[in-house]
Amino acid sequence: GFGLNAQELPKLEKKETYKVGFAQTESNNPWRIAQTNSMKAEAEKLGHQLVYTDAAGSAAKQVSDVNSMIAQGVDLIFLAPREEKPLIPAVMAAKKAGIPVILLDRSVDPSLAKAGEDYLTFIGSDFVEEGRRMAEWLIKNADGKTKIIQLEGTTGSSPANDRKKGFDEAIQAAGGFEIVASQSGDFARDKGRQVAEALLQAHPDANVIYAHNDEMAIGAISAVEAAGKVPGKDILILSIDGGKEAVQAVVDGKIAAVVECNPRFGPKAFETMMRYANGETIAPILVNEDKFYDASNAAAELANAY
């Protein structure tokens, strides 16, 4: 038989169709739902059996979801790890069971698990670049608005860590800006609204809100209005994701700019799986392309937003 080498990635036997796991983190926003729909539609189109789980916002449940996929003998696991560290045991358990893992959209701590060794590859956006693009837009279009409140995503998740890093570095390098507060709104609309409300009270001079996703940006619109201020005029709101509701808010002038985070993973995910089964070498990171929306193109792009 095959000796199991600790350094080696599990292989994928060549078959017509597969039984594949997709371990989703939560389904509390349009981005997650668009991602899930894209995965389900592509699996159905290609005739693969998809074992789908929803961790409902719990990293512990997501670990047990992966363990149950292993017990069910899936051929490969697509994993969207909620946070960078707590999902390491799931990646390692799949490796030990001889099941290749492809990380989708979020990554795990690179010092604890490696692409091409512990998991096959990471497919998703460059979150550092998303944060940097948002900062670059602000640097060009601030028009005197320099006091920034940052609404961070889920603590310990790769998009929260990296969107902060890319943004903060570019803003610091530009000079003249100040991040007056930076706090997690857990990528959720109501949490984002509550945190924005509290931070606007603590920092009445703030005039920019940078939200790590649309849900928190939409929550921030309510918070700004509740504070008696006008979004887009008194306070610039910046977002990442690019769902229809946020792009419509750009058309309406309430959100100033959005960096897209492309949720359409299905075709690339299954194509990568088949390339691996065919013996191709897979790059450790496969980066998705993201668009950008502001007043110059939001109306024209609205129909294409997810």
Q: Which is nearer to ligand AHR, 75 or 214 (CB)?
A: 214
Inter-residue contact 144 to 178 (CB < 8 Å): no
CA distance 120 to 64: 20
Name the residue with tokens 């070498």. Answer: 281
Which among 24-32, 50-58, 61-69, 136-144 is the span making contact with ligand AHR, rule CB under 6 A?
24-32
Q: Looking at 99, 220, 236, 261, which residue binds ligand AHR (CB under 6 A)? A: 261
- Give the contact letters, 146-175, x = binds to ligand AHR (CB under 6 A), - = no: -------------x----------------
Site string for ligand AHR, 40-79 (x = CB under 6 A): ----------------------------------------
Token code pair at residue 222: 């309510």
Q: Contact, 125 vs 287, CB < 8 A?
A: yes
Residue among 167, 177, 187, 270 that touches ligand AHR (CB under 6 A): 187
Least Å distance, CB 284 to ligand AHR, is 18
Nearest C-alpha neighbor of 234 from the set 223, 242, 246: 223
Burial of residue 238 (CB within 10 Å: 0-12, 13-18, 19+) is: buried
Strand 178-184 relative to strand 208-211: parallel, antiparallel, unpaired?
A: unpaired
Smallest distance from the beta carbon of 222 to ligand AHR, in angstroms?
A: 17
Q: What are phi and psi of 155, to 5 degrees?
A: -60, 130
**Cβ proximity to ligand AHR, 37 vs 145, nearer residue:** 37
Enumerate the β-bridge partners of residue 277.
none
Q: Which of 124, 103, 158, 133 is nearest to 288 (CA)?
A: 124
Alpha-carbon distance of 205 to 262, in angstroms, equals 33
Listed ranges 16-24, 26-34, 59-67, 279-287: which one lies at the site for ligand AHR (CB under 6 A): 26-34
Please state the closest distance from residue 256 (CB atom) to ligand AHR, in A: 18
Q: Could you write out the DSSP letters of every residue in 134-175?
A: HHHHHHHH-TT--EEEEEE-STT-HHHHHHHHHHHHHHHHH-
The answer to whether 24 contacts ligand AHR (rule: CB under 6 A) is no
| 122 forms part of the interface with ligand AHR (CB under 6 A) | no
Pick the piece of the chain touching ligand AHR (CB under 6 A) from 14-22, 29-37, 190-198, 223-231: 29-37
Q: Which of 18, 32, 90, 218 binds ligand AHR (CB under 6 A)?
A: 32
**By CB under 6 A, is residue 130 in contact with ligand AHR?**
no
Q: Rule CB under 6 A: is residue 241 a binding residue for ligand AHR?
A: yes
Among 54, 65, 105, 152, binds ligand AHR (CB under 6 A): 105
Among 15, 11, 20, 9, which residue's Cα sits nearest to residue 269?
Answer: 20
Question: Under rule CB under 6 A, how many of the chain's residues touch ligand AHR?
Answer: 11
What are the strands of the beta sheet with 76-79, ordered from one edge?
49-54, 19-24, 76-79, 101-104, 121-124, 285-287
Q: Which residue's CB is nearer to ligand AHR, number 258 or number 298? A: 258
Q: Is 191 in the site for ligand AHR (CB under 6 A)?
A: no
Does residue 213 touch ligand AHR according to CB under 6 A? yes
Question: Which residues contact ligand AHR (rule: CB under 6 A)?
Answer: 29, 31-32, 105-106, 159, 187, 213, 240-241, 261
